Chains A and B, each alone.
Chain A
Amino acid sequence: MNNACVLMTCPMFTYLEQELETRFKLIKLWDHSSSKTEFFNNYSSSIKAVVGNTKVGADAKLIDSLPNLEIVASYSVGLDKIDLDKCKQRGIKVTNTPDVLTDDVADLAIGLALAVLRKVCVCDRFVRSGNWISGDFGLATKFSGKSVGIVGLGRIGSEIAKRAEAFQCPISYHSRSKKPNTNYKYYSNIVDLAANCEILVVACALTEETHHIVNRKVIDALGPKGFLINIARGAHVDEPELVSALLEGRLGGAGLDVFENEPEPPEKLFALDNVVLVPHVGSDTEETSKAMADLVISNLEAHFKGEPLLTPVI
């Protein structure tokens, strides 16, 4: 097992790199960016595992170039950067990191909602700039009791709902199908959900069907007093439509952890006080990063020992 070659696609977490290095022969794709052909000639047939993340996963091109690839262990729960069909065809196993990051992502969703509605970041800027000396801040919007609509009532969506309920927020949701064991109000159409809630939270997986699921119609339904919170994927939202809605005051505000073109969010948003922008940090805590890394390692070790995978996707 110590000789098994593992390819890491990009820098993601120093602890993970170190742990992989002690257990396997770790090859860092970014160390070879200048000599790609040479790299593939030297290493491609020995690479048995790929560790990817939300920035650089395992697309068809990479998978095709690794003839002996056995497993892709993603340092993420999202699988949109992995060509799952290709993996299925080739019999390559795939693992991800569900559950360990659910709480952190749910916490951030609520944190972003509070930050946008209660203008936490704007207040902080106001104090730091010295403006408080000249006068009081003004009013924000109450969060407690606002209706919350969740797109995707999976693990993360359910935890967001549980937290919002503690603030007396009525909960409704949209997903592919109605969930059996819940009292939350279901909308089979996302536009109806948006029309009937004040805070829309995107928490579903990114697939072909959910690409741009938050489009102009949804944004219009949410309206000038509505707020969008996205902790899922930038591609869930038609970003140019979102930007123009915010600039024109057709949407009340947005809290965004993800963007269509990371690490470059739309600059037009930078001057707005009714948005909060964070750099894809949904699971970026010391505790969770370590737990995710440990899960990646455990999955790889299990694979190479011939034991059952802990969190297989396929």
Chain B
Amino acid sequence: MATKQTDYQQHFSSQELPVVLVNRLPSFRLPSKPPFIDNLLPHFHLLDPHDAPEPYDSFLSRHAHSIRALITVGPTPVTAEFLNLLPCLGLIVGTSAGLDHIDLPACRSRGIAVTNASSAFSEDVADCAVGLLIDVLRRISAADRFVRGQMWPVKKEYPLGFKLGGKRVGIVGLGSIGSEIAKRLSAFNCSIAYNSRKKKPSVPFPFYANVSDLAANSDVLILCCALTEETTHIINKDVMIALGKQGLIINVGRGSLIDEKVLVQCLVRGEIGGAGLDVFENEPNVPKELLGLDNVVLSPHCAVMTPESFEALLQLTVANLKAFFSNKPLLSVVSNE
């Protein structure tokens, strides 16, 4: 990294390029496929305290006044205390759809804009949600295990699945990801309803102000809302009972949207019909009880893991930073509502 900086400094005066801090936990790096750093360096002077020889704190305080924008990599937190070290900060670019690792109220009070990656990821996350749903209903992973386990010639009959068409789908969080899910499932003849902080006037689907009411009127709940204080454990025992014994939960949001202990109990006892989960409360740990169930499909938080998503994320990151430094509107700023 230091070598690359020197190469570029030979071509560009590093004073001319806008400064961008790369905020990352030591174990996280910007993606190498596509090569983020190579694509950012022509436009921005990147500062990475973990790649500098000097101690973290002194590097940061030495550069603090030149830092107007930062990229926070993956789940690297941005706390109010950290923000206090950067008095000139005006923009935080997140590389994930979720922003629960960023102190949004602190950003708001400082007037710091925050952008996320939802629009780069929304198609892939939606595809993951639909893939998990069809798998749970039609038992695809379980059937694949059955065939590979050489059970087909032995056990003549195989349990029936359930039809997707006509199912009532309740989407919790109708943002860019939720909207893409709705669009896809409508083509499978599902009916769509949603819960969100506020009703969306331009949306044709029925709105439920209360998640339990949504659950009571749905066969499937798909979680794709942001994780906040209000939405932590929004899927609790009451909601699961309302959803019912045939009900399914698909989670592509954050593990803590669901009270995981209760979910496990309900699945083991047959109080809900099944689940497709890409996220968990304590990744990469997954409750042992789920590992033996045929009516759950488990995924290692990889809903965005395609080359296309990373390419789109790179484009979005560069575009947001360029817009900020040219005083133009940001592309994927997260608003207060």
A166 to B131, CA, bound (A): 14
Q: Which residues of B contact A120 (CB under 8 A)?
A: 131-132, 135, 140-141, 297, 299
List B residues at the A interface (Cβ < 8 Å).
Answer: 33, 123-124, 126-128, 130-132, 134-135, 137-141, 143-148, 150, 152-153, 156-158, 160-166, 183-184, 186-189, 283-286, 291, 297-300, 302, 305-309
A288 to B165, CA, bound (A): 10
Across the interface, do A139 and B131 meet the contact criterion of CB distance under 8 Å?
A: no
Partner of B163, one of A139, A279, A287: A287
List A residues at the B interface (Cβ < 8 Å).
Answer: 11, 103-104, 107-108, 110-112, 114-115, 118, 120-121, 123-128, 132-133, 136-145, 162-163, 165-168, 262-265, 267, 270, 276-279, 281, 284-289
Given A123-B299, A123-B300, A285-B163: A142 in contact with B307 (beta carbons within 8 A): yes
A126 to B284, CA, bound (A): 11
Which B residue sits closest to A104, measured CB to CB?
Answer: B163
* Total A-B contacts with CB atoms under 8 angstroms apart: 175
A266 to B139, CA, bound (A): 21
A222 to B302, CA, bound (A): 27
Across the interface, do B147 and A265 meet the contact criterion of CB distance under 8 Å?
A: yes
Q: Which residues of A contact B131 (CB under 8 A)?
A: 111, 114-115, 118, 120, 143
Across the interface, do A137 and B305 meet the contact criterion of CB distance under 8 Å?
A: yes
Which B residue sits closest to A167, measured CB to CB?
Answer: B184
Across the interface, do B161 and A121 meet the contact criterion of CB distance under 8 Å?
A: no
Q: Which residues of A contact B158 (CB under 8 A)?
A: 279, 281, 284
Q: Which residues of A contact B150 (CB under 8 A)?
A: 267, 270
For this complex, 12 residue pairs linking A to B, each with C-beta atoms less than 8 Å apart, are A103-B189, A104-B163, A114-B127, A121-B144, A121-B145, A123-B300, A128-B291, A139-B306, A140-B305, A142-B123, A270-B148, A287-B166
A132 to B287, CA, bound (A): 13
Given A107-B165, A128-B298, A165-B187: A277 in contact with B160 (beta carbons within 8 A): no
A121 to B148, CA, bound (A): 12
Pick the most buried of A103, A124, A125, A140: most chain B CB atoms within 10 A of its CB.
A124
A166 to B192, CA, bound (A): 15
Pick the most buried of A107, A114, A123, A262: most chain B CB atoms within 10 A of its CB.
A123
Partner of A107, one of B126, B132, B134, B145: B134
Across the interface, do B161 and A142 meet the contact criterion of CB distance under 8 Å?
A: no
Closest chain-B Cβ to A286's Cβ sits at a distance in Å of 5
A247 to B127, CA, bound (A): 27
